[in-house]
Amino acid sequence: MPSVTDLRVAQQPRAQASSALKARGPVAIVDIGSNSVRLVVYETQERVAATLQNEKSICAIGRDMVTSGRLHAEGCAAALEALARFRLIADGLNVEYRDAVATAAARDASNGAEFIRRAESAWGRPIRVLAGEDEARIAAEGVVAGIPDADGLAADLGGGSLDMVSVKGGKTGDAFTLPFGPLRLMDQSKGDPDKARDIVDKGLKNIPGLSAPALYAVGGIWRSFARVDMEEHNYPLHVLQHYTIPRGRALRLCRLLAGLSKDSVRKIKVVSKRRAESLPYGAVVLERLLEAGDIKDVVISAFGLREGLLYARLPEEERIKDPLVEFARAANARAARVPVHAHEMLGWTAPLFESDSLADARIREASAFFSDVAWRRHPDDRAVGAFGQVLTAPFAGASHRARALIAASVFHRYSGDEDVPQGMALAGLLEKEDEKRALVLGLAWRFAFSLSASAAGELANYRLRMTPSKVILEVPTRREAIAGEPVQKRLGELADALGRKGEILVG
């Protein structure tokens, strides 16, 4: 079975494919779905490319398609208008590399080919109509790009189809596509939720492998579903990527939303009015999926088809990079006073963390790279400002627990051993051991900065080691003046957090 990269490259001329994988300029990706048309412009073709522009237009070209067999005329007009606008945006940003794909509605409608011809004229470049299984697999690659350790079933719910692929160990498995996105279900069921359930159940009956540790939910409908769950439970961190909903809670919310009218959904303030009609049908699909398989959790993936298309363009050396660490490394390179200091600090403090697991080590690495991002802030705002900056930063590859731990460590880097204020968004995200780990990391960076003032090469003048009862700083006689009150105080705080005494040896 070909990989997504193979599929992507095979559809380009050889020279274009080669240059696409090597290019570092901006990339524009357009996704023409059954419900929405979307543009994302990435700053560059790298593992953690920043988003220059991200916008969508809810056009619903797939509305009433089951009844008519054709794309919706008003929806097509809106989509063409959006594509013309997207073309101007890409031109203005000097985007050379552009990719556009169309999915279920354009693939299945009797006038789909005619629409694509007009869409290509509006966009100014070719548009590929993806086969159902290719669409599913590319979306699953997007899930893997954002959650490299994903283990379960990636499910992308668009307006016209449900696309599913198993994911594990960074690899994707068999792909399945089923024709019951919310727009089609609304049409097929004539507004009857029970009939919609029957349609979904019949489609899922012969799909193998629906039992999985987690369902990685992709698509705007399921992101709206997650926002409702966050609101209902006063969840403290409004970041959708990697938001996890336990099975039982997800089923209860599915059944509640599936029974609501469009007008009732419109009253839910966190749901876009354009999603109000389709959200109950998205809830029906999720409910039947959970009932059909033994799935423990629903995990929201903000990464999907568009991110999968970008990921497929990357050379292997970029694809294998850790998205969390790479994002933090880039933030350090942009914002730190002396970027190399974070690298030196990681090596210098290593004796304190010799028992770290691989998971602990990557969190420590990310924390170190974020440790100097707030130096330009007002001193009164550094701790709290840096905390918020890191907590909600647009990185992937981290659970909400890991995200909160890293943010708390950066808070302590600036505030010392002060408690994280109650009003800050950590309630329920961290265990006591996590809080201790965040404190130790933050105090380690704080201590290192007190010695070096972030100067490159300065830490190499001193040795840090740890015994069962002490944290010891060794200072050469010629530099003993460095070991004044600030260094003594911060060494003491760090040692205390580690359950030890601090000691400075001069000689």
* 229-268 residue pLDDT tens: 999 999 999 999 999 999 999 999 999 999 999 999 999 9
**What is the pTM assigned to this prediction?**
0.90
**Average of per-residue pLDDT across 449-466:** 97
pLDDT of residue 5: 39
In the block, residue with structure tokens 């552009």: 98
In the block, residue with structure tokens 């530099």: 479
Residue 1 pLDDT greater than 90, yes or no:
no
22 pLDDT band (50/70/90 cuts)?
A: very low
Q: Which of 490, 173, 459, 241 is nearest to 338 (CA)?
A: 459
**Average of per-residue pLDDT across 164-188:** 91
Per-residue b or e along 381-403, where b marks 16 or more CB atoms closer than 10 Å to that residue's CB:
ebbbbbbbbbbebebbbbbbbbb
Mean predicted lDDT score pLDDT of the chain: 92
Classify 322-456 by CATH class: mainly alpha
Task: Compute the distance between CA of residue 166 and CA of residue 70 in angstroms, rounded to an integer.
Answer: 32
- 299 SS3 class: strand
Per-residue b or e along 209-228, where b marks 16 or more CB atoms closer than 10 Å to that residue's CB:
ebebebbbbbbbbbbbbbbb
Q: 133-307: same fold as 27-130? A: yes
**Average of per-residue pLDDT across 415-422:** 85
Q: List C-alpha distances in Å: 236 to 92, 96, 130, 245, 325.
A: 38, 40, 38, 14, 24
Q: What CATH superfamily is the domain 133-307? A: Exopolyphosphatase. Domain 2 (3.30.420.150)
pLDDT in tens, 307-342: 999 998 899 999 999 999 999 999 999 999 999 999
Residue 13 pLDDT greater than 50, yes or no:
no
pLDDT of residue 9: 37
| Length of the chain in terms of residues written | 507
pLDDT of residue 418: 87
Give one DSSP letter per residue of 438-460, joined into a string. HHHHHHHHHHHHHHHTT-TT-GG
Residue 423 pLDDT greater than 80, yes or no:
no
Q: Provide the angle, in degrees to the nearest 10, between the axes of the packed helices 279-292 and 193-204.
A: 40
pLDDT of residue 16: 39
Task: Compute the distance between CA of residue 86 and CA of residue 80 in angstroms, rounded to an integer.
Answer: 10
- Domain edges within the chain: 27-130, 133-307, 322-456
pLDDT in tens, 354-385: 999 999 999 999 999 999 999 999 999 999 99
Tell me yes or no: is domain 27-130 CATH 2.160.10.10: no
**Average of per-residue pLDDT across 143-151:** 96
User: Does 104 or 344 have the greater pLDDT score?
Assistant: 344
pLDDT of residue 159: 85
User: Which DSSP state fits 200?
Assistant: H
Residue 15 pLDDT greater than 60, yes or no:
no
pLDDT in tens, 54-67: 999 999 999 988 88
User: Does 316 or 422 have the greater pLDDT score?
Assistant: 316
pLDDT of residue 425: 67
Q: What percentage of the chain exceeds 70 in pLDDT?
A: 95
pLDDT of residue 24: 67
pLDDT in tens, 269-308: 999 888 889 999 999 999 999 999 899 999 999 999 999 9
